Amino acid sequence: MPKLKTKIPIKMHRDIDKSLIWATNREQGQIRSISITKTPDDRYYLNVLVRREIKPLKPTNKTAGIDVGIKEFAIIHDGESTYHIENPKYLQKAEKKLIKLQRQLSRKQKGSKNWEKARQKVAKQHQKIVNQRKDFLHKVSSVIIKQYDAIVVESLNIKGMIQNQKLSKQIADVSWYEFLRQLEYKAKWYGRQIIKADRFYPSSKTCNVCGYKNDQLTLSVRKWQCPICRTIHDRDENASKNLYQIGVAHLTNLRFEPAERQRTSGRVGTTRAKACGAGSVGGQLASSQLTTRHPAVKQETSQKLESLQSEQAPQFIEE
């Protein structure tokens, strides 16, 4: 540091490639700036901004619909398999601890010594959760970006908004926005596409098989049976399948076809919809029915979501 005579010891979270320091061109990557930030729990971080060329990933010809759940972090459907990503246990524990610490803080006299101590504990725990969650979200978003060309998400965290517990709602909102932010910038880096479903598209209420809309479905109902086609739905799996179908429709520029043709055409798969232009899709889907499978969503059984090599890795449980 320019004004300090002594050196400051640092803890490296990530190695900096030595070649970066002396690199002079873009291909090698260049350090653009270094800054120091202080977090609310009085830790200092050294941020190194590096410029580097990123090559787009090869197409996988796969599309995914992602439904962000309440109990589970997310459910992914890719036309072939459905994956459940659980919220990591360490995170749930840390969140419980934060609630406890906040309760303790509320009992202390504001401005007192004990209050100050408790306040610091809350700040520290809060920062710990922010870091852990960010790390978890980075791992999940990276795996998803690697595996899929197109990723469909809802444009608003409706479930987070409905939850009434103040803190869990806050955490759900923050992590959902952070997850979307990561997906979006990584998609730009690696040449992937993020498709946001219309904010009013009822992904949980719509039967992914026949398109029936179940208006009676409340948030507490986890499983329901479609009265029209008799399919039994897991609420969140059904939502992820609908989002997947929106993605397929969006990519294929489908036009509405009469439902009759579907029986005679002999094709498999279900996609109700016509794709529309860029931006939000899905609001106008769900009425007519047709079947087509996008050539980009070939059923490749060899490709599975690769598991992450870390003890903190999210679990992809295939059903």
**Considering beta carbons, is residue 98 or 207 the nearer one to Zn ion?**
207
Binding of residue 156 to Zn ion (CB under 5 A): no
List the catalytic residue out of 67, 78, 149, 198: 67
Q: Which residues contact 96 (CB under 8 A, 6 or more apart)?
A: none
**Considering beta carbons, is residue 224 or 316 the nearer one to Zn ion?**
224
Q: Which residues contact 219 (CB under 8 A, 6 or more apart)?
A: 70, 159, 162
Binding of residue 207 to Zn ion (CB under 5 A): yes
Scanning 19-27, 37-45, 103-111, 226-234 for contacts with Zn ion by CB under 5 A, the matching segment is: 226-234
**Considering beta carbons, is residue 130 or 209 the nearer one to Zn ion?**
209
List the catalytic residue out of 149, 154, 198, 237: 154
Binding of residue 90 to Zn ion (CB under 5 A): no
Whether 154 is catalytic = yes
Place of tokens 């598209």: 201
Letter for the amino acid at 65? Answer: G
Whether 234 is catalytic = no
Please choose, from the candidates 235, 249, 282, the residue with its C-alpha nearest in 3D space to the C-alpha of residue 84. 235
Among residues 50, 57, 209, 313, the one that binds Zn ion under rule CB under 5 A: 209
CA 115 to CA 118: how far, in whole Å? 5
Measured in degrees and rounded to the nearest 5, phi and psi for residue 30 equal -135, 145
Among residues 137, 226, 248, 281, the one that binds Zn ion under rule CB under 5 A: 226
Q: Is 298 exposed, middle or buried (0-12, 13-18, 19+ CB in 10 A)?
A: exposed
Among residues 20, 70, 156, 210, the one that binds Zn ion under rule CB under 5 A: 210
**What is the 8-class DSSP label of residue 213?**
B
Active site residues: 67, 154, 236
Q: Which residues bind Zn ion (CB under 5 A)?
A: 207, 209-210, 212, 226, 228-229
